Amino acid sequence: MTNHSETTGPSENDGIGRRDVTGAGTMHDNQVTLRTPAELADALPYLLGYRAEDSIVLVALHDRGGRGRFGGRARLGIPTSRDDWEPAARQLAQGLVAGSERRGARPEQMVAYVCQEPGKGESGRDVMRRLQPLAQLLRTECGRLDVPVIEALCISAGRFWSYCCPSEGCCPDDGSPMGLPGTSVLAAAATYAGIQVRGTLRELRARLLPWETAAALEQEIALDTVGMNLVPRILDEANRAQVAQETLDLAELVLVRFTAATPVPGTLPSDLRDDELLTHEEAAALILGLQDRTTRDRAAAWMEGDEAGPALRLWRALARRCVGPYGEHAAAPLTLAGWVAWSSGDDLEAREALAMALGADPDYLFARLLHQACNEGLDPEAIRRCLRAGGTGRKASCADEKNATEQQDGPHQKYAPDRKDGAGSPDGSSETGPRRRRRLRSGDGGRSRSARTESRRSRPDVSRTSTSPEGRTHPRVSRPGATRTNGAGKGAMARDTASSGGGRSESNGTEGDV
């Protein structure tokens, strides 16, 4: 496929796997042919839309007239434990092949990348050698699926190495330098096509992570104070509709404020400006109010046109305010941020925000379904139609409130676990109240999931409180069926399937087949 003995031009080397790769489809109508490992290494940011770090990446190739054409791409964070490398490689290979098959085009070959910056006392060559077993596992797992890896590259410290050199001395021990950003033929074609390369996923994620500044304590106190009054009203059926309207009215007020603000260049200055436009008390009221599923569905209708930009900024700002013990509450604003980003055509931020929502609450059904749909390349228009049908002016929700109420026996049963029949709501549930939050207890270890669910149904639905180390009490809007697990490792990684979209984004986030 690639020519290891030269940097440009046609190959005179008939080595194993020699093949040109054409970037058709990624550059719209502009076709770019890549022939060397250097060109493939330079292409990675343009294939992903960002600069990979601590990443395993597989890129599918499809045959077209004897040339490889780029297909789906999948990314997984490099697991810290070597014991997790094999299942990670298997997961990535199987997910990308399965996702490609669902689109009707099984890949014929793969290009593999492992990307990681050197640790303390390491060199790029040390990283290359350390990750060589991981690259070999990728080749093995793809081979099991009869999709051979025809090039495997390590990128580290501004240099790259090929693991597919046909002979000793083919590539320098110290690697080959990466080209200057923006100087390759592919970079020029991407610029012409309007394709932008962002920074890193870490930088994108930082816009959505909760504060760790001194202001975080003030925000936590505001959440405690506002919650003492607001949570009982949300749980009271007679007051819930009024709280929902108050939440949406406040959100609209803040959106007007965001829209009128003078634009500032740069993501960090922009986020800091938005943080200044939102008070602690406003943020607390919005975060807690959005825990109600009906309110969240109605807020999701700010998804297009002039409303989308300010709405996305607001959801990001609220996610940053879910500090301390309120981390689980971030599932709602993160899901809304992911939805608006996807609706606006930004699949990268959408996948990351939705994966972070699942990290905050693995059972958040709306995030799970959106993440899967985004990863599978579905059209968000169907969800837009559902939200538009909910009524303009935020007068109604996509949830079928009447149907949900008729199926429940009393006020406390209104918070039944999520239904799977897809009635009414974008997330497939017909629940209209806030979902209960609950952590696993050690005593539940020997009980089945269904038994625990029945036990939860039999208990009255009340808000929980928790006490911080400082002695403050934290009100919670409880939600059914949201069993929260904090473990990472193999169990969490198994949900990070690139094609299924059921993943979390912590140390091992995944990007879907695109």
The whole-number pLDDT of residue 82 equals: 95
> Taking CA 503 as the corner, what is the angle to CA 502 and CA 508, rounded to the nearest 5 degrees?
165
Would you state the pLDDT for residue 36? Answer: 82
List, in sequence order, every beta strand (DSSP E) within 384-446: 437-439
CA separation (Å) from 238 to 5, 235, 411? Answer: 75, 9, 10
pTM: 0.65
Run of H or E residues at 149: strand 149-156
Q: Are 466 and 473 in contact (CB under 8 A)?
A: yes
Cα gap 467→470, rounded to integer Å? 8
Q: Which residue, 29, 42, 46, 33, is CA-closest to 1?
A: 33
pLDDT at 325 (0 to 100)? 95
List the chain residues with pLDDT less than 50.
1-19, 24-29, 392-424, 429-474, 476, 478-514
* Confidence at residue 468, expressed as pLDDT on a 0 to 100 scale: 46
Instruction: Give, in order, the Cα–Cα distances in Å from 478 to each of 134, 209, 362, 468, 504.
Output: 42, 22, 15, 18, 22
Residues β-bridged to residue 156: 159
